[in-house]
């Protein structure tokens, strides 16, 4: 139950950090939202026994607030699923428990150049009616 509360608090923080308005067309803000959605999806995929999306609808908010074609969200979900499946257990410093450190590793992954390039490559899927081209 503590995991559920922790995950809800983390997701609330991610949701509150979302400053993009519905009508925003700024690529940087949209990219940031995709990064946050990736973290949300990693947590959701990493703890399937919690049925996280029943407790938190942030994924729907990210879809509503960002300006991408729906296939982008499937790509983000697929990447999160693949990423989480590759996270290995590591010993923690606390009571010799095993943990995957999903949140931490997901956050770290969003900081690397490969992930950043992937997110930028999705700009081509920004909905045309909102694109500045």
Residue 49 pLDDT level (bands cut at 50, 70, 90): confident
DSSP strands (E only) in 1-133: 90-91, 98-99
Nearest C-alpha neighbor of 36 from the set 52, 51, 17, 53: 17
Structure tokens at 114: 């490969």
Model confidence over 113-129: pLDDT tens digits? Answer: 999 999 999 999 988 65
pTM of the model: 0.74
pLDDT at 36 over 90: yes
Q: Which of 2-6, 42-46, 61-65, 103-107 has the lowest mean pLDDT?
A: 2-6
- Per-residue pLDDT of 95-107, as tens digits, reads 556 677 888 889 9
> b/e per residue, 78-94, with b = 16+ CB within 10 A?
ebbeebbeebeeeeeee
């Amino acid at each position: 139950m503590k995991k559920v509360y922790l995950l809800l608090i983390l997701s609330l923080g991610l949701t509150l950090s979302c400053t993009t308005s519905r009508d925003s067309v700024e690529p940087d803000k949209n990219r940031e939202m995709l990064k946050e959605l990736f973290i949300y999806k990693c947590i959701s995929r990493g703890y399937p026994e919690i049925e996280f999306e029943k407790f938190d609808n942030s994924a729907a908010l990210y879809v509503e607030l960002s300006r991408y074609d729906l296939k982008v969200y499937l790509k983000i979900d697929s990447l999160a699923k693949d990423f989480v499946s590759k996270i290995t257990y590591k010993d923690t410093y606390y009571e010799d428990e095993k943990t995957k450190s999903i949140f931490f590793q997901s956050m770290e992954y969003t900081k690397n150049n490969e992930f950043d390039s992937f997110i930028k490559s999705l700009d081509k899927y920004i909905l045309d009616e909102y694109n500045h081209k």
